[in-house]
Amino acid sequence: DQPTITLNNGISIPQLGLGVFRTKGGQETVDAVRWAVEAGYRHIDTARAYNNEESVGRGIRESGVKRRDIFLTTKLWNEDIRQGRAREAFFESLDRLGTDYVDLYLIHWPADGWQKAWEQMEELYNDRRIRAIGVSNFHQHHIEELRSFSDLTPAADQIESSPQFPNQELIDWDHAQGIAVEAWSPLGGTGGSLLENPTVARIAEKYGKSPAQTIIRWHLQRGVVVIPKSVHAERIRQNFDVFDFALTSEDMDALSNLGINRRQGSDPDNFDF
Ligand code: A2P
């Protein structure tokens, strides 16, 4: 059985999911989602901003696996946060996804007005339209502010993390608060060359696994939810074939200390979108 993590409200999330950032809406997304579910994935992570929610919904339906057996995440976009229309934006996402609930709904970035958005999300959560609510790209100080006005601790914080930017301090802090961490750009995204890194290659070879599988395993063993993206059937399957080996603590440490420490994306304290 694939590993799951129990969120702070008791619901369970499969620890490995398919990410669809930069996956083009239309057939590319439908295929990726369907292939993933056929390969055993039960967790798909999308967002309003990815412009592929309709195709994600279609891919799930075409997979033949029941909606309730899939953990589906989407995210509230910055424009909707700034315009104070979290509730409307949520129902628009549901429409596009073709479903009547989501498992996890996240504030995508701490855009101006996110505090009000959180309150609207709490109502949707209390109405059982969302099984868990959380945040994305929140630093410790954002979450501390959130808790100054809300009794609901976010179930998850989805942040950039990979061996090229481990973000370990924030992960440790989130975990100490009972907040699950989800890693985006877990393989280093598109900008770097993490999958060609010689240390990663050396460790991968030792286990007879690919660099991508090795990095996914590193995330799993750190207790982080990991959502690698691919649009290729072979890679989607390969990325799920990671439950039959374990990295030693020396290899875990080596991957945590590649010494790159460079973000792929924006700092949540300084973004312009
Ligand atoms: P592609 O979709 O063409 O397979 P992230 O860190 O954001 O999850 O980025 C994953 C990047 O690595 C994507 O650009 C994806 O491209 C590529 N990728 C995903 N899985 C593999 C794999 N198993 N081997 C090589 N490249 C991969």
Reported as a single tens digit per residue, the pLDDT across 102-114 is 999 999 999 999 9
Per the structure, the count of domains in the chain is 1
DSSP 20: -
In a domain, 181, yes or no: yes
Respond yes or no: is residue 105 known to be catalytic.
no
- CA torsion angle for 21, 113, 159, 132 (degrees, to 10)? -90
CB 5 within 8 A of CB 223: yes
Reported as a single tens digit per residue, the pLDDT across 43-65 is 999 999 999 999 999 999 999 99
Q: What does 145-183 look like in DSSP terms, one character per residue?
A: HHHHH-S---SEEEEE-BTTB--HHHHHHHHHTT-EEEE
Query: What gap in Å lies between CA 79 and CA 226, rounded to an integer?
Result: 26
Reported as a single tens digit per residue, the pLDDT across 177-201 is 999 999 999 999 887 799 999 999 9
Please report the pLDDT score of residue 255 as a whole number.
98
Nearest CA to ligand 1 atom 17: 230
pTM of this prediction?
A: 0.98
Which two three-digit tokens encode residue 270?
A: 């300084």
In a domain, 210, yes or no: no
Tell me the residue range of the domain where 89 lies: 4-191+224-229
Catalytic residue among 41, 50, 101, 207: 50
Interface confidence, given as ipTM, is 0.98
- Whether the per-residue pLDDT at 76 is higher than 90: the answer is yes
In a domain, 144, yes or no: yes
Find the 258 Cα to ligand 1 centroid distance in Å: 19
In a domain, 247, yes or no: no
In a domain, 245, yes or no: no
In a domain, 202, yes or no: no
Query: What gap in Å lies between CA 52 and CA 73, rounded to an integer?
Result: 13
Please report the pLDDT score of residue 191 as a whole number.
74
Query: What gap in Å lies between CA 127 and CA 111, rounded to an integer?
Result: 25
In a domain, 208, yes or no: no
In a domain, 111, yes or no: yes
Nearest CA to ligand 1 atom 18: 230
CATH number, domain of 17, equals 3.20.20.100
